[in-house]
Structure 1
Amino acid sequence: MLRFILGLVLVVGLWSAAPVAQAQNADIEATISAQLEAFKVDDFDQAFTYASPTIQGLFRTPENFGNMVRGGYPMVWRPSEVTYLELKETAGFLFQRVMITDAEGAVHLLEYQMVQMDGTWKINGVRLLANPPATA
């Protein structure tokens, strides 16, 4: 009987946490998507607003930020397809993996570090991971 009760508590706990995790995941994806949309129309002022204060301090202006993205992350500047993969927590930080197909059809795997500030999600860094293997 004790196992049944513990199992029920675990199931109810996981079930009640799922909507929070789904909402968190949706909010993170919305932040990344909004920044990508801003990049597509060269609105670097708007794209800069989705960056954390750390990133904003590093680049200081939307123009500097835009130059870095165009030069270092062209797949982010002009994505043709975006697929959100897993969201994971590591050492207290949240990382959203994103698969982006660029204009030439090349696939890139990126990891966005996300931080929550005043109830909104900000992008605290993007890391290019090894490209996923090609599928036949």
Structure 2
Amino acid sequence: MTERNGMMRSILGRFLVLFGLLLAAFPAAAQDAEIRATINRQLDAFQRDDWSEAFTYASPDLRQLFGTPERFRDMVLGGYRTVHRPQQVSFRELDLSGLRPVQIVFFIGPDGLAYLAAYEMEQQADGSWRISGVQMIRAADKAV
């Protein structure tokens, strides 16, 4: 009977550890999905040239910096054409190692060239996510 109880405790212990790991992963998966949805909504707004909507996905600091959707549009079209009309978009890893999450996104731009974008995200008081900055680098390979 003692051996059986020990085996049951071992099985139950392993189950609880696995269950705990699954619960811990759920918020991270939900956060990942919310961040991706925010970026996708902005990309969709770019496709429609809806600069007012696209501007709403920028963090309060960025909105204050640019002031108007028109100035935001000028910045995007001047230096971030890849995100305005990409041929391909593929989400990569979400880096949680810094002060703010950084979502890596792979793009094939309208020029046919590959780029990696690091979207720094900022969570708002209401729990929503906003884009607080984007750094783009030219990728060496279209298969990155």
Structure 2 partner of 1:34? 41
Shift in alpha-carbon separation, 1:131–1:16, aligned structure 2, 3 A: same
Residue correspondence of structure 1 range 100-119 to structure 2 within 5 A: 100-117=107-124, 118-119=126-127
Distance 2:70 2:21 in 1: 44
Distance 1:120 1:8 in 2: 33
Q: Does 1:13 align with 2:6?
A: no
CA contact (8 A) 2:66 2:72 kept: yes
- Give the TM-score normalised by structure 1: 0.88
Unaligned 5+ residue runs, structure 1? none
Backbone CA RMSD of aligned residues: 2.0
Structure 2 partner of 1:59? 66
- Give the TM-score normalised by structure 2: 0.84
Q: Does 1:85 align with 2:95?
A: no
Give the secondary-structure state (helix, strand or coil) at the position aligned to 1:46. helix
Number of corresponding residues: 135
Which one of the candidate residues 123, 132, 136 is aligned to 1:128?
136
Moved over 2 A (4+): 1-13, 132-135
**Residues 36-86 of structure 1: CA deviation (Å, up to 9, x unaligned):** 111111111000000000100110110000000001000011112110000
Q: Which segment drifts farther, 55-64 or 100-109?
A: 100-109
Report the structure, 1 or 2, having the larger strand content: 1
Instruction: Among all aligned residue pairs of Structure 1 and Structure 2, give the percentage whose two residues are the same amino acid.
Output: 41
Give the secondary-structure state (helix, strand or coil) at the position aligned to 2:112. coil
| One-letter amino acid matched to 1:52 | S
Unaligned 5+ residue runs, structure 2? 1-5
Q: Which segment drifts farther, 99-108 or 119-128?
A: 99-108
Distance 1:113 1:36 in 2: 15
Give the secondary-structure state (helix, strand or coil) at the position aligned to 2:101. strand
